[in-house]
Amino acid sequence: MSEIAVRATPELRYRYAAGRYASAFLQGLRDGRILASRCHRCARTLVPPRIACTGCFAGMDEIVTLPPRGTLLAFTLVAFPFLDPFTGIPRPVPYCYGMVKLEGADNTFQYFLSEKDPGRLRVGQTVRAVFREERTGSLADLLHFAPVEG
Amino acid sequence: MRDPVAIVGAGQTAHRSRRLDVSAPELIDEAVQAALLDARLEPDGIDAVVVGNMEHFEGIHLSDLWAVEGTGGAGKPQLKVATGGTTGSSLAQAAYYLVAGGFFRTVMAVGWERLSDSEGETTTGIVTAFDPIYERPTLAGAVSGLAILACQYQAKYGTRAEEAALVVVQARENAARNSHAHLRQPVTVAEVLASPVLSTPIRYLDMCPTSDGACAVVFTSRPGDGRAAWVRGVSSRHNHTYLGDVTEGSVSYLHTLRLAAEDAYRQAGVADPRQELDVVEMYEPCTWAAFEWAEALGLCGPGEAARMWAEGATRRDGEIPVNPSGGVLCTNPIGATGLIRVAEASMQVRGTAGERQVDGARLALATGFGGSFWSEVMVLAAER
């Protein structure tokens, strides 16, 4: 019996509302700052800022600026190709990203790393935020985190 | 007050990389007919149906509509449950709750996936499950999310790649005895280490495949005189939104699994899981995850899992067999994967697991993993 399959190649379009907290965060990046929200009940500081505390679910209405450095808790070099659902074309590989515990934050922030050789990265090392010269109020204003030498 | 609930039937398809011989409803029908046969029931013996898959893989939404000729849900109460990787285990939990609550006598859970429909772009679908503002630009699906876990585990315990590779070597040995399994050919540690890097430290053979397949399981409060697997513990722990919230502090990455397991063990009266459980069907999407999650389940102490695998304790004839079916590393039709764990665990305690049967299995654990590292578990027993 023949096995027939029907092909579909749609071009879909979406526009996602960033909302109050992410809009504030992205505007902070434009100004070269990393913003977090702070819980008035359990004193937790979370990045990115959000409406409710992950620890006690209290509303988070205090926004603070974090220092642009932290500790690398985990990382990976992504080497396999896949179709990026944001762009509809294969995502450029390889690239490294990791989980950065920013100074003063209680959680970690997932973002790109400057290195493309995972052999030069280690868990526990200090990294610093590197911003682009031209900033527009988008996540990409934060270029990456880079290891601090020494 | 809950009614006692038993599993009296389970059915699976032949799981393969491409089931181009059947449409989705035809694939589902294959599992549903097998489950009805196993439960010795006619379609009218099913009072309600719980269905689910991960729609963004196939790109066909309202899957509860188009799958119904396979599920047999027309004219009956039919609910869809979709929780990502845990879809299959959530289906089992939902079916259990409906029967335990006394709302229906007999409920069938049906999960499926046709990952070949997305032409291998499973990662694309998974990335769309995550926050578009913060996480999609960096995340490379389950592969990189699990790579972060593996990096953390490796840094903590100094575990070597060849130790992790042993997990898939053992899984393939088990899958060779399971005619439903997708990947049944043996692999060696050297082959795993020589396979391409997907996302460090995870290599191609460290990662689960993408499969086409379906699974159906029958839950009932009136099991008759056939062999039954009694549900003794059910628990689920959800998680926060961002992956950066789940790596917080020094707690185990999959603390949701530890919490869910502790809750289910308490319900089932299990004090020492390694001693008391006869078999575990664990949702292990990559080799590295199996180590941390065996520890979260209390099968061994922190950092001891690599040694437990190396010593053979997790083999089918070992002290605590893990995935005699071959597990997720050998078969992964995602919306069915968690339900296959429940089906396999039920077959073990019902004594119907055939060539992959663990001798004398009386108490089994099935787990599910999904989303931003959330977990579900179910404890099944031969005795009520």
Per-residue pLDDT tens for B334-363? 999 999 999 999 999 999 999 999 999 999
pTM: 0.97
Q: Which of B22, B157, B245 should be substituted to probe chain A, the one whose Cβ sees the most A Cβ atoms within 10 Å?
A: B245
Q: How many CB pairs under 8 A join A and B?
A: 120
Q: Residue B144 is encoded by which pair of tokens?
A: 């990189």
Q: Does residue B329 contact residue B304 with C-beta atoms inside 8 Å?
A: no
Q: Report the gap between the CA of B15 and the closest CA in chain A (Å).
A: 17
- What pLDDT score does A86 carry? 85
Residue B376 dihedral angles phi and psi, to the nearest 5°: -140, 145
Q: Does residue A56 contact residue A95 with C-beta atoms inside 8 Å?
A: no
Q: Does residue B281 contact residue B215 with C-beta atoms inside 8 Å?
A: no
- What pLDDT score does B117 carry? 92
Per-residue pLDDT tens for B17-76? 999 999 999 999 999 999 999 999 999 999 999 999 998 899 888 989 989 999 999 999
Peptide bond into B201 cis (omega under 30): yes
b/e map of A65-86 (b: 16 or more CB within 10 Å)? ebebbbebbbbbbbbbebbbbe
Among B152, B199, B243, select the one facing A110 at the smallest CB separation.
Answer: B243
Residue B12 dihedral angles phi and psi, to the nearest 5°: -135, 155
Confidence class of residue B82 from pLDDT cuts 50, 70 and 90?
very high
- What pLDDT score does A11 carry? 85
Q: Which of B203, B242, B286, B373 should be substituted to probe chain A, the one whose Cβ sees the most A Cβ atoms within 10 Å?
A: B242
- What pLDDT score does B46 carry? 98
Cβ-based contacts of B121 with chain A (< 8 Å) = 82-83
Q: Does residue B182 contact residue B304 with C-beta atoms inside 8 Å?
A: no
- What pLDDT score does B250 carry? 45
- What pLDDT score does B1 carry? 62
Q: Residue A67 is encoded by which pair of tokens?
A: 């220092």
pLDDT above 70 (res B133): yes
- What pLDDT score does A150 carry? 61
- What pLDDT score does B249 carry? 53
Has residue B21 been placed in a domain?
yes
Has residue B245 been placed in a domain?
no
Q: What is the ipTM of this complex?
A: 0.95
- How many whole angstroms separate alpha carbon B218 and alpha carbon B212? 21
Has residue B341 been placed in a domain?
no
Q: Check CB contact under 8 Å for A84 and B127.
A: yes
What distance, in Å, lies between the first and last C-alpha atoms of chain A? 67
Q: Does residue B289 contact residue B370 with C-beta atoms inside 8 Å?
A: no
Q: Check CB contact under 8 Å for A139 and B134.
A: yes
Mean pLDDT of chain B: 95
DSSP E strand boundaries for chain B? 6-12, 48-52, 78-80, 106-114, 197-199, 202-203, 212-220, 229-237, 279-281, 363-370, 374-381
Q: Check CB contact under 8 Å for B249 and A106.
A: yes
- How many whole angstroms separate alpha carbon B257 and alpha carbon B271? 16
Among A1, A80, A106, select the one facing B248 at the smallest CB separation.
Answer: A106
- What pLDDT score does B56 carry? 87
Domain enclosing residue B39, as ranges: 6-120+211-219
- CATH number of domain containing B61: 3.40.47.10
Q: Give the bridge partners for B320, in sequence order.
A: none
B16 DSSP assignment:
B
Q: Give the bridge partners for B379, in sequence order.
A: B233, B365
Q: How far is CA B106 from the centre of its chain?
A: 22
Cβ-based contacts of A86 with chain B (< 8 Å) = 132, 136-137
How many CA atoms within 13 Å lie on the side-chain side of B169? 15
- What pLDDT score does B244 carry? 87
pLDDT above 90 (res B2): no
- What pLDDT score does B243 carry? 87
Has residue B199 been placed in a domain?
no
DSSP helix/strand/coil, B109: strand
Search chain B and give the residue with CA nearest A75. Answer: B148
Sequence-distant (6+) residues with CB within 8 A of B144 are A76, A78, A97, B138, B199
Has residue B97 been placed in a domain?
yes
Has residue B138 been placed in a domain?
no
- How many whole angstroms separate alpha carbon B108 and alpha carbon B32? 9
Query: Among B375, B373, B355, which residue's Cα sits nearest to residue B365?
Result: B375
Domain tally for chain B? 1
If chain A, 150 residues long, is cut into consecutive pieces of 10 residues, what is the mean pLDDT of each piece?
A: 85 92 98 97 95 93 97 96 90 96 95 95 96 97 92
Q: Crossing angle, helix B255-268 and helix B287-296, to 10 degrees?
A: 50
DSSP states along B137-159: TT--HHHHHHHHHHHHHHHHH--
- What pLDDT score does B252 carry? 52
Per-residue pLDDT tens for B219-255? 999 998 889 999 999 999 998 888 888 765 544 568 8
